[in-house]
């Protein structure tokens, strides 16, 4: 195993884990794909890994721990479920290994790479929030740079065909984790998350609508520029991420206030941002942008961690 590389492993041989493995192998960056483990010996992910020369096991995290190359692995991606991640973290937490959690378990700090990775780059367990979080938290954070966001609400619509058993089992965690990240990372004072599984055939692309309320007036040009710049930053690692319309502003004054059931009359500005995510189709179909944005965010986060680790080791040598 090359000493110039940063060996990684994936727990979970489903759609997300398999797409992530292919991205690591295609990237040509600092990461080296060392192992993939799952619990289904007949999964396509494990079969593909074997064909590509990646070490595999169908004994889950126990199989990973038993592999002779486990001692070389520096980082583990967990692409399973929120409940499974709790168990996996119990087995990995006392070992000298980093964990990137692609489930909504939210044991470690939230990580949206374009917003707050630098603040948590040394955390042993980083949570990649959710697909909706990766798509919308950067926009709320961009608006928060120019004006305090008193409320953020996001609506993520994804193809039902792109929502596998893990996604469906974790819908409650998805809603809670995404809403929390809108506050903790995006900077909103209050938040709400809505997810729609769209059964349309042919399958629809992932769409995200972000609504933000800002008290009083705000600098429309500055917010537009901030949002557009943030979209450009996300596109560096998710090329299919795009604005579908210009940023919209609607102002409410004392004579035409917006009524909010929880808080009463609102006087200020409602900002609406409409986004679309088209997947790269490395393994998953292009309509599965919700899964692609998760694996792309995890890949860029792991690459940054690897580069940071190499730089730190060089400085202390």
**223 contact partners, CB below 8 Å, separation of at least 6:** 142, 143, 146, 147, 247, 249, 271
Active-site residue, from 111, 131, 212, 218: 131
φ, ψ for residue 274 (rounded to 5)? -110, 125
Q: Which residue has the tokens 């006087």?
A: 267
- Catalytic residue list contains 131: yes
Dihedral of the CA atoms 182, 129, 174, 156 (nearest 10)? 60
Beta carbons of 92 and 54 less than 8 angstroms apart: no
Q: Which helix (H) or strand (E) holds 177?
A: helix 171-184
CA–CA gap between residue 231 and residue 295 (Å, rounded): 18
- Name the DSSP letter for residue 236: T
Joined together, the tokens standing for residue 120 give 């948590």
Report the catalytic residues.
131
């Amino acid at each position: 195993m090359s000493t110039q590389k940063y060996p990684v492993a994936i727990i979970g041989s489903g759609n997300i884990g398999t797409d992530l493995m292919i991205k690591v192998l295609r990237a040509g960056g600092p990461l080296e794909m060392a192992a993939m483990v799952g619990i289904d010996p007949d999964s396509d992910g494990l079969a593909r890994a074997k064909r590509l020369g990646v070490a595999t096991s169908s004994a889950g995290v126990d199989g990973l721990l038993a592999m002779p190359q486990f001692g070389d692995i520096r980082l583990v991606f967990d692409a399973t479920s929120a409940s499974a991640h709790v168990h996996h973290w119990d087995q990995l937490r006392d070992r000298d290994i980093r964990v990137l959690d692609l489930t909504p378990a939210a044991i470690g700090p939230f990580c949206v790479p374009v917003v707050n990775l630098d603040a948590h780059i040394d955390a042993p367990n980083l949570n990649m929030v959710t697909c909706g979080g990766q798509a919308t938290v950067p926009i709320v954070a961009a608006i928060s740079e120019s004006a305090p966001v008193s409320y953020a609400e996001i609506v993520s619509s994804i193809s039902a065909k792109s929502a596998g058993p893990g996604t469906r089992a974790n819908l409650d965690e998805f809603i809670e984790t995404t809403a929390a990240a809108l506050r903790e990372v995006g900077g909103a004072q209050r938040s709400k998350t809505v997810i729609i599984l769209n059964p349309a055939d042919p399958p629809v692309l992932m769409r995200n609508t972000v609504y933000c309320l800002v008290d009083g007036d705000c600098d429309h040009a500055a917010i537009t520029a901030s949002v557009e710049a943030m979209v450009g930053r996300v596109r560096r690692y998710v090329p299919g991420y795009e604005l579908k319309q210009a940023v919209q502003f609607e102002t409410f004054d004392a004579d035409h206030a917006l009524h909010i059931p929880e808080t009463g009359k609102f006087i200020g500005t409602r900002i609406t941002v409409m986004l679309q995510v088209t997947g790269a189709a490395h393994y998953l179909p292009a309509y599965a942008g919700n899964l692609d944005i998760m694996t792309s965010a995890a890949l860029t986060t792991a690459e940054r961690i690897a580069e940071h680790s190499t730089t730190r080791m060089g400085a202390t040598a």
